[in-house]
Amino acid sequence: MKARRQMKVQEIITKEIIRTQEELADKLHLSGFNVTQATVSRDIKEMGLIKVPSLGDEYRYAVPSEVHPVNLQDRLKRVLRETVVSINDTESLVVIRTIPGNAHALAAVMDNSNWEEVIGTVAGDDTILLVIKPKEAVPTVLERITTLLG
């Protein structure tokens, strides 16, 4: 049942613009799946769905493989400028706060940027944790982010 539901989720978000979990739950209900918002939230997390820019200032859910920017550096610059609220660091970690609901989109772009000092990202709703190695590279990463934000 879960696999069928998640296949339907992928079908829905690739064919339609889905902006919220509630919209996705409604579409699933129309397709015969009796789901709660909590179930939809778990599916989104398990499937690794991200939010990407849509029309105007809106964002929609997408499968990470859908994101194929022509120029990843330009996309990273744009997403950083549109979503970052604050940046902080400690030891080998950088914490980036974003506008709510945008951390996954930014983390996905950062992951695809292949910065060798960033060995991984963890994204919540509005916070991204960058794990940096070696820890001496934290200033380099911060400078790169600051330059892109500039």
Q: Name the 3-class secondary structure at 98.
A: strand
Q: CB within 8 A of 57, min separation 6: which ones?
A: none
Which structural domain, as residue segments, surrounds residue 116? 72-149
pLDDT digits (tens, 9 = 90+) for 15-47: 999 999 999 999 999 999 999 999 999 999 888
Answer for the pair 121, 104: CB distance below 8 angstroms, yes or no.
no
Number of domains observed in the structure of the chain:
2
Give the chain's mean pLDDT: 90
Of the three residues 48, 66, 84, the one that is the final residue of a domain is 66
The answer on 141 and 90 residing in a single domain is yes
Q: What is the pLDDT of residue 71?
A: 63
The answer on 18 and 56 residing in a single domain is yes
